[in-house]
């Protein structure tokens, strides 16, 4: 059986497999990240907290609201997370001196270690993903993912960041 797909037609089984892959891949990434953490020196940090560390990032001092928007959580939720991450010495709060309402976030030495480990995992992952593919093939993949984003954006417009 073949399903209509815009210009072309798509094998029904292929559609099923791709759907399956798309919906399981993220969970698998998270599972591997979790396992990596449990067997590393960073046993006191959850994967969500690592993603917060990643969003806080190394090279600028974003505000709490900025980071919360990126992570798509409320500022209140991020405050709680940051409380924990400060207590566990991954993150530091830096008060802005120009406007003292803002809290800017930065990584500690320990936080930078986690950041780099996480970055490295994702680099390896994408390398693996794109293994044996040339530029043209990568463009096809990116196009497909952008189609998907466009569909989702159409289904539920997001507020600008």
Residue 36 tokens read as 């990596």
Q: From the centroid of its chain, how far is CA 110? A: 20
Min. distance of Cβ 28 from DNA in angstroms? 14
- Residue among 19, 24, 41, 65 that touches DNA (CB under 7 A): 65
- Binding DNA by CB under 7 A: which of 15, 29, 36, 47? 47
Q: How many CB atoms lie within 10 A of CB 117?
A: 17
Query: What is the closest distance, in whole angstroms, from the C-beta atom of residue 56 to a copy of itself in the complex?
Result: 16
Candidates 91-99, 107-115, 125-133, 142-150: pick the segment binding DNA (CB under 7 A): 91-99
Taking the least distance from each CB to a copy of itself, the nearer of 87 and 123 is 123
Which residue do the tokens 């953490």 mark? Answer: 37
The site for a copy of itself (CB under 8 A) is made up of: 3-8, 10-11, 14-15, 17-19, 21-29, 31-32, 35-36, 72, 122-135, 137-138, 140-153, 155-156
């Amino acid at each position: 059986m073949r399903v209509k797909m815009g210009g072309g037609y798509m094998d029904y089984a292929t559609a099923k497999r791709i759907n399956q892959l798309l919906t399981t891949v993220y969970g698998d990434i998270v599972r591997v990240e979790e396992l990596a953490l449990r067997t590393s020196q960073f046993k006191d940090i959850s994967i969500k907290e690592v993603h917060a560390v990643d969003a806080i990032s190394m090279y600028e001092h974003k505000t709490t609201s900025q980071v919360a928007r990126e992570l798509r959580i409320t500022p209140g939720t991020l405050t709680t997370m940051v409380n924990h991450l400060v207590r566990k010495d991954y993150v530091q709060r830096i008060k802005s001196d120009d406007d003292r309402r803002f809290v800017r976030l930065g990584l500690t030495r320990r936080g930078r270690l986690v950041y780099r480990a996480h970055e490295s995992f994702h680099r390896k992952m994408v390398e693996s993903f794109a293994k044996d593919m040339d530029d043209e093939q990568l463009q096809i993949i990116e196009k497909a993912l952008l189609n998907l984003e466009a569909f989702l954006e159409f289904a539920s417009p997001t507020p600008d960041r």
